[in-house]
């Protein structure tokens, strides 16, 4: 099953270095500017990313 991971580049709670676990699973994260809750700070960008993932299938 295709899996995608969206990384919030400015997240101070789970910084990008901490999220290296995605790479252990063989996932290359898609980066989005924003903090811990990108769906609140950048809802349009998150929706566009989700739609792009959906149409890529």
Can you give the pLDDT of all 57 residues of the chain as single tens digits?
A: 778 888 888 888 888 777 676 677 787 888 888 888 888 989 999 999 999 999 988
Q: What is the pTM of this model?
A: 0.73
- According to the model, what pLDDT value does residue 15 have? 81
- According to the model, what pLDDT value does residue 12 have? 87
Q: Is 8 exposed, middle or buried (0-12, 13-18, 19+ CB in 10 A)?
A: buried
Alpha-helical segments (H) within the chain: 21-24, 38-41, 43-56
Residue ranges per structural domain of the chain = 6-56
| Distance linking the first and last C-alpha atoms of the chain | 10
């Amino acid at each position: 099953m295709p899996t995608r991971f969206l990384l919030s580049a400015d997240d101070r709670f789970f910084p990008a270095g901490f999220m290296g676990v995605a790479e252990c699973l063989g996932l290359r994260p898609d980066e989005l500017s924003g903090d811990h809750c990108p769906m609140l700070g950048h809802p349009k960008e998150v929706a566009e990313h989700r739609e792009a993932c959906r149409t890529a299938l």
